[in-house]
A and B are shown apart, each in its own frame.
Chain A
Amino acid sequence: MTEDAVLLAPITGWVLLAIFSLLWVGLGIYWGQRNKSFEDHALAGRNVGLALGSATAAATWITSNTTMLAPQFALELGIWGMLAYSMAAFGLILFAPMAKRIRLLMPHGYTSGDFFRLRYGRTAWGIFLVFTLFYSLTWLVSMAMAGGILLEALAGIDYVWGMTVILAVCVIYTMRGGLAAVIGTDFIQSLIILVGIVVVGFAVLQNVSVDQIHANLTANKPELVDVLFPAALMAIFNNLLFGLGEVFHNNVWWSRAFAFREGVGSKAFLIGGLVWFPIPVAAGFIALASGALNVAVPSPDMVGPLVIANVLGEAGAIAIFIIVFCSLASSIDSLLAATSDLITEDVYRRLFHPSAAPETLKKMAQWITLALGVGTWAVCVPRIGTLASVLFFAGPLVGAMIWPIVTGLYWRRANSVGAIGGMLLGGGIGLVSYFQIGWYVASTIGTAVSMVWVLGAAWLSKDRYDWNLLKEAS
């Protein structure tokens, strides 16, 4: 990250930050008024409709990674890089039928943890909690750090201040408004992001044609248009499987499956996935134009903002600032909500206080949201650069959970031995391959090993699970 990359005056950045912070917090307080119980707070009344459902699925999956990393992926891995990134949309698309199944099997369910506990028992549940908390917390930390870094690079706002404001705003409106606030703000954020990406994309095309971009790439960065670019090819399915693992296991998505109205779930995830699909290409291609536009790239993670500032000047810098802030907020709020609900339901309630009153649970969830925010803040303050990349260790871990979850939802033969072995072996061997071979194989290998074990255990199984056990009363 270069010191010279400030594109907006700090005062402009602060004004924008203030406007949107007030907006989200105001809406959070307003929508929070409809929440009476823990169920309202965590699951927005279990009645979210199709429009809000689709938008929240798309917006939550659009992280700052989508808007900032997509250009970087394009610059490093070219055309296949952008398409590989788009593959993550299958996480949402394939979760669509699963959301319907989840709702059917667990009408009183709250979290993905509930599923693991009831379907596979306490050991599997424990392993699941370790994997999912590792993933969720590293995701949260990487988003918060990205926020601070970006606000500093875009507007010269000091890293600690920027990171603090983003976290504080998200914590406040998530605490006050619960999942309803998260979903409501997600809708607005999704529209802002989509409009912003389109405006920026067409602005780039006003300055340089696709033919010019292609010619420049062919001459100076030929690998980026190569159909047989090895690293990019490997990224295609590694990214797809990482995406499947992330969506299939995490409470961010399961809580939505429980929150959407009956019959809405699968359509909302499908539409959300389709909305998400073109975004890595629409946001990423601008990086390919950097050569043709003669935009110097001192650091690959800044290629997006630099190209935008080049073609749109201050207006572009404002646009990218807003787009990034919205994509950060739409993911941080979901992570805070879903993780605090997971801890409240799985740890506080199911492990320690099974007969806690709904009012207590709601308060607990709010306090845990605050604790998560403060904890994340504390970890982010020292700005340990390599922390952001720790998220990628989660690839093999989440990949290893795909087969236990899918078979667990559909096959009575799937059993605890399969799930436990699948997660531990897949996660372990996947992690080893991450370090021994490379990031681009880790999710694939983690998933493959887990698959073999889970299928083997199911084939040899004498047990047949009773689906009714999942209908535990709330």
Chain B
Amino acid sequence: MIFSSGFLTLLVYGSLAWCVLSALALGAMLLRDLLRGESW
């Protein structure tokens, strides 16, 4: 029983997209914290 090519495609593209989202989210969150003076 092997992992299908479709599954591997999902893993690879999914993880890359997730990383992009993470970077954008962290950037947006910092912007919001800085504007509110709540960074640290």
Contact = CB atoms under 8 A, between A and B. Distances in A.
Direct contact of A and B (CB under 8 A): yes
A194 interface: yes
B40 A198 contact: no
A51 B3 contact: no
A470 interface: no
B8 A210 contact: yes
A285 B12 contact: yes
Interface string A39-61: 00000110111111011001000
A227 B1 contact: yes
A49 B4 CA distance: 42
A191 B40 contact: no
Interface string B8-34: 110111111011101101110110110
Given A277-B18, A282-B16, A54 B29 contact: yes
The bracket for how many chain A residues form the interface is: 35 or more
Nearest to A201: B16
Nearest to B7: A79
Contact of A194 (B5, B23, B30, B32): B23
A83 to B, nearest CB: 8
Nearest to A194: B23
A52 B15 contact: no
A88 B27 CA distance: 24
Interface stretch (A218-226, A314-322, A430-438): A218-226
A79 B3 contact: yes
A44 B15 contact: no
B9 A278 contact: no
B12 A281 contact: yes
Given A45-B40, A218-B2, A278 B29 contact: no
Contacts of B1: 226-228
Contacts of A306: none
A137 B29 CA distance: 33
Contacts of B11: 79, 82-83, 281, 285
A52 B19 contact: no
A52 B40 CA distance: 8
Nearest to B28: A51
B2 A227 contact: yes
Given A49-B39, A51-B32, A210-B9, A278 B3 contact: no
Contacts of B40: 44-45, 47-49, 52, 180, 183, 261
A257 B34 CA distance: 21
A214 B19 contact: no
Contacts of B32: 51
Contacts of A261: 38, 40
Nearest to B29: A51
B33 A198 contact: no
Interface in A224-271: 225-228, 261, 271
A213 B12 CA distance: 11
Contacts of B18: 277-278, 282
Contact of A225 (B3, B13, B20, B26): B3
A50 B16 contact: no
A102 interface: no
A202 B16 contact: yes
B6 to A, nearest CB: 9
A187 interface: yes
A54 B26 contact: yes
Contacts of A190: 26
A401 to B, nearest CB: 29
A202 B16 CA distance: 8
Contact of B15 (A191, A222, A281): A281
Which 6 residue pairs of A and B lie closest in terms of their CB atoms, listed nearest first? A278-B15, A51-B29, A214-B5, A51-B30, A281-B15, A278-B18
Interface of B: 1-5, 7-9, 11-16, 18-20, 22-23, 25-27, 29-30, 32-33, 38-40
Given A51-B30, A58-B22, A214-B4, 7 more contacts: A49-B33, A50-B38, A55-B30, A190-B26, A198-B16, A227-B1, A278-B14
17 contacts: A52-B33, A52-B39, A52-B40, A54-B29, A55-B26, A191-B27, A197-B19, A198-B16, A214-B5, A222-B2, A261-B38, A275-B25, A277-B18, A278-B15, A278-B19, A282-B18, A285-B15
